Structure 1
Amino acid sequence: MPKGGGTPPTIISNHVGWADILVHMALYYPSFVAKSGLRTVPLIGAICESMQCLFVERGRVEGPAQGIAGRLKSRMLLAASGQAPDTRPVLIFAEGTTTNGDYMLDFRSGAFLAGMPVQPVILKYRRDRLSHSWETIGAARHIFLTLCQPLSSVTALELPVYIPSEAERKDARLYASNVRLHMNKVAKLQLSTATLQDKWEYQALLSKQQQPSNHDHQHKSP
């Protein structure tokens, strides 16, 4: 839980599912990187705007300064400068995608480009009838099944603020790797080098297996 005394401009967290956002909203009410399509979603879009979210359009190629890494760095430096006291801290899921809660993926370096101190937070969900990891179930169905549970439990472990060394400030990849290892000393998850592309391929394989074959169609035809 937050201990007071201010929050660094960047919060680094592992990522299990959509409920992570609700947990961090309750703790910090931070900004986060969101898909541009959320801007037009009723209520959700207004909440994202109020949280000063950074919107990104997947697949769009932008220059270094306009890209999400450059915009993140600018936001972090602005928040750290104190020139804009209303600037929200930025929540970064440094793995870049969700996991099943048992693993921790490699951290992307974009969250560490500014070389500023970060607030590591580890989320751990209690194993219930429904897994809180959001992997292969559609969002609407997963939310519905979660709400059907009488109780869901999550623990948010707030580690001490991580202050980078001179070497880490100069090398974002080194900084990202060291923060990941630092967090996992407490999280005790399995480290993995899986990527977002691996996840997409896995989901595509599952989807293909669930589709009825032509033989099945012929068998069921009247």
Structure 2
Amino acid sequence: MGARSLSFAPFDSFGDGELEREEVQRVTPGIELERRATASRTSTPEDAATLARLLDCSGILQDACAAMIDDSFNRCFQESAEANWNFNFYLLPLWWCGWVIRHFVLFPLRLGFILSASAAFALAFMFSHYCTPRRWGFERKCVELYAAAFVVSWTGVIKYHGPRPSRRGHMGGMVYVSNHTSMIDYLVMTQVSPFAVIQQKHKGWVGLLQRTAMNAIDCIEFNRTDIKDRNTVATRLKQHVAEKSRLPLLIFPEGTCVNNKYCVMFKRGAFDLGVDVVPVAIKYNNIFVDAFWNSRRQSFSRHLCTLMSSWAVVADVWYMEPQRKREDETSIEFAERVRGMICKRAGLKAVPWDGMLKYYRPSPRECEARRKAFLAGLMA
């Protein structure tokens, strides 16, 4: 990254970094005039020279403001604002009618449907423990149907493009990588063909599903705050792709949900396994609902309720040709090449940020040390 990419915006020190460049250019000449006027009013030449050096940092301040303008980290996790189209007197009644239908007609029906599907899924899984013959195929089909039930509960309109994963047999030894907008990405892809996925450990009913259905199809759980889990996951990844009989592995290399407008840096783990990597691009249409899950502001249950109370969830999924690392290519370069393919296909903007900055903030001691170092540089 160049100097313009340096910014403290990921740590929320300067809000969302939405300053306008014109405002910075307007303020900077005023800083210069204030510097000269203040220096001329200073009592002694020594004080004037000292104050002039301190105020001479206006250029640095301009560069800092420009960096905040160019910063795109926080924008990667901003939800789309709804357009205020309903302030017209003859459209407002129609908007309210639609709101009532979505929340008091469609939502109860969809909720009842998914609860019924969940009960049937639980009974089927309990039954599978007593049916040892072909148990693997039965549980795989249950997961596939359950994912399809979720998509139906949102009135999902999903268009699939390119060569889909085969429903016949297993396609182990391959890794599918995709951009990540929400946990529903897995459901959208699994209704076509089940995948074993790397997943963050959750609590509540999502955690219950992880410990039952997801474990039954060899999904890999991890805790991003536990270093031991990282080593275990790396070992299990290699073991999984080494067995051709297992389900294909689905990985979201961004490591966090991004708002379907940007794409943050890919982790290299999926590209170090020595197997073919299949890029998958997912693009949601925000015309009916924003499918981005902002986990810092709402639970996944609340997110599902939002989807169920919308008219529909519209998305396109592109399966691209398998890619293999070239001999003159490092794992990081391979990851960037695949990310570029996904961004181009889905119309996303690639940004040079590590998505893990979303979860970590520097300590006050570290911030103070950085301020002192910056001040020392100005006084030198």
| TM-score of Structure 1 vs Structure 2, range by shorter chain | 0.7 to 0.9
Q: Do the aligned residues in 1 keep the contact of 2:260 with 2:283 (CA within 8 Å)? A: yes
1:43/1:104 Cα in 2 relative to 1: closer, same or farther (>3 Å)? Answer: closer
1:156/1:174 Cα in 2 relative to 1: closer, same or farther (>3 Å)? Answer: same
**Structure 1 residue 94, shift from structure 2 partner:** 0.9
1:16: which partner in 2? 181
1:218: which partner in 2? none
Moved over 3 A (4+): 3-8, 36-44
Cα deviation, 1:158-194, whole Å, max 9, x if unaligned, reads 11111221233xx321211111112223222111123
Matched, 1:185 2:308: no
**Structure 1 residue 116, shift from structure 2 partner:** 1.2
Q: Secondary structure at the match of 1:27?
A: coil
Aligned with residue 125 of structure 1, among 284, 287, 300 = 284
- Judging by fraction of residues, say which structure has more helix: 2
Aligned with residue 25 of structure 1, among 190, 194, 205 = 190
1:71/1:167 Cα in 2 relative to 1: closer, same or farther (>3 Å)? Answer: farther
Distance 1:44 1:133 in 2: 21
Q: Do the aligned residues in 2 keep the contact of 1:39 with 1:48 (CA within 8 Å)? A: no
1:38/1:140 Cα in 2 relative to 1: closer, same or farther (>3 Å)? Answer: closer
> Which TM-score applies when normalising by structure 1?
0.76
Structure with the bigger RCO (C-alpha within 8 Å, sep 6+) is: 1
RMSD over aligned Cα, in angstroms? Answer: 2.5
Q: Secondary structure at the match of 1:184?
A: helix
Aligned with residue 34 of structure 1, among 192, 199, 224 = 199
Flag structure 2 segments of 5+ consecutive residues without an equivalent: 1-159, 362-380
Q: Do the aligned residues in 1 keep the contact of 2:177 with 2:250 (CA within 8 Å)? A: yes
Distance 2:323 2:334 in 1: 10
- Give percent identity, aligned residues only: 23
Aligned with residue 225 of structure 2, among 59, 63, 67 = 59
Aligned with residue 139 of structure 1, among 285, 288, 300 = 300
Cα deviation, 1:46-104, whole Å, max 9, x if unaligned, reads 1111221111123222288x43233223322x13xx3xx2x011100011111000001
**Structure 1 residue 201, shift from structure 2 partner:** 6.2
1:188/1:43 Cα in 2 relative to 1: closer, same or farther (>3 Å)? Answer: closer
Aligned residues: 193
Matched, 1:175 2:334: yes
2:323: which partner in 1? 162
Which residues in structure 2 correspond to 1:86-97 (within 5 Å)? Answer: 87-97=246-256
Cα deviation, 1:135-154, whole Å, max 9, x if unaligned, reads 13322211111111232111
Structure number with greater Rg is 2
Structure 2 counterpart of 1:50, which letter?
Answer: A
Distance 2:338 2:252 in 1: 12
